A and B are shown apart, each in its own frame.
Chain A
Amino acid sequence: MINMFKKFLNKFFNGLFKKKKNIKLGLYGPPNGGKTTLANRICQDWLGEDMGSVSNVAHETREIQVKEQISIKSKGKELSFNLVDTPGIATRIDYEDFLKSGLKVTEAKKRAKEATKGVIDSIKWLDDMDVVIIVLDSTKDPYSQVNITIVGNLEARKIPVLIVGNKIDLKKANIKKLQEAFPQYDIVGISAKFGNHMDEFYDLLFKITK
């Protein structure tokens, strides 16, 4: 409640004293949904460089990463933002899961510890976001509690949300199921890895940030 009040005050005074500011665009979602792959795709499209490293092992991104001053253009419009790539939010982190991915015990324990801190940071940063893109793996069950909690939390904070169903290049992808789970939101199916449907993604980004 206090946070919401603080955010309201921030927005109010920012509106009074700053004519234009870069919005903070956050990439949120569970681990391995493709947040960093999408961040890299956006950065490659508009800056010609990557943002972070990607991996098949969950919790590859364990620290908040910010790429400032990205400007995208579409149909005569321009949008500038600071892109914030966040660690995946999870309710459980078991170092033994990392062992299955081939990591050694010390390495796995270190990764687990960093991953827990990453989740805490992601949650703390929620308050600072102006717009959030929720990146979900469209081959997975959309009804997980983490997805529902993130979406509900952003709704309570009145932060505009765009839901991205990533990995549509895979056979198991099911965008319809995502739309059924979150009927009140704009949803776009993309493949961040191969750049499929990115034009549609940018169009919706303009729509929700206007």
Chain B
Amino acid sequence: MLSLQFIPYSQIASMSSQKRIAKILKLVKDENIVLLEGTLNKDEETELIKKTMEEIKGKFRGIEICTIESENDKNAFFDKFKKMLYTYILREKKGFTVIGPASIVKEIKRDPNKIQLLTKDVKRRNK
């Protein structure tokens, strides 16, 4: 059975980066697919990969992760303004992130505005 765990942004907003990463990694190691409202910043994403590598052992073989950020506006000035605003206030709440354990999630494909999550079970069923 697949378990999908939703984390609203409000639940991680006040956490330090370390705690955010630890929370996500714990849920994923417990074989949940995490749907996070918002995105981690790039340092946090890199740290998540590093921590994942440190914890690979036994059944845990790593993660699959995919972030989607909406960037449709082509107006240069507005883009710049929006980027500043997101950087300082809203950035991490924009978009969403899917993270799953590699033991369950075979691959996450981005199209780039669509996500396809291929699970290992689905693949077996198709064979």
Q: Which residues of A come within 8 Å of B, CB atoms?
A: 1, 89-94, 96, 112, 116-117, 119-120, 123-124, 126, 141, 143-146, 148-149, 152-153, 155-156, 181
Contact = CB atoms under 8 A, between A and B. Distances in A.
Nearest to B105: A92
A91 B102 contact: yes
A126 B46 contact: yes
B43 A156 contact: yes
B116 to A, nearest CB: 11
A155 B42 contact: yes
A92 B62 contact: yes
Contacts of B108: 145
A89 B42 CA distance: 14
A119 B53 contact: yes
Contacts of B62: 90-94
B92 interface: no
Contacts of A152: 42, 45
A152 B42 CA distance: 6
B49 A119 contact: yes
A146 B108 CA distance: 12
Interface residues of B, number: 24
B66 A145 contact: yes
A92 B102 contact: yes
10 contacts: A93-B61, A94-B61, A96-B61, A117-B53, A143-B110, A145-B110, A146-B49, A149-B42, A152-B42, A152-B45
Contacts of A93: 53, 56, 61-62
Contacts of A156: 41-43
B46 A120 contact: no
Contacts of B64: 91-92, 145
A91 B111 CA distance: 19
A32 to B, nearest CB: 15
Contacts of A181: 112
A91 B63 contact: yes
A156 B108 CA distance: 24
Contacts of A155: 42
Contacts of B112: 143, 181
Interface string B89-108: 00000000000001000001
Interface string B42-64: 11011001101110100001111
Contacts of B41: 156
A148 B67 contact: yes
Nearest to A117: B53
A153 B45 contact: yes
A116 B53 contact: yes
Task: Give 8 closest A-B pairs by Cβ, nearest first.
Answer: A92-B62, A92-B102, A152-B42, A94-B61, A116-B53, A143-B110, A153-B42, A149-B45
Contacts of A149: 42, 45-46, 49
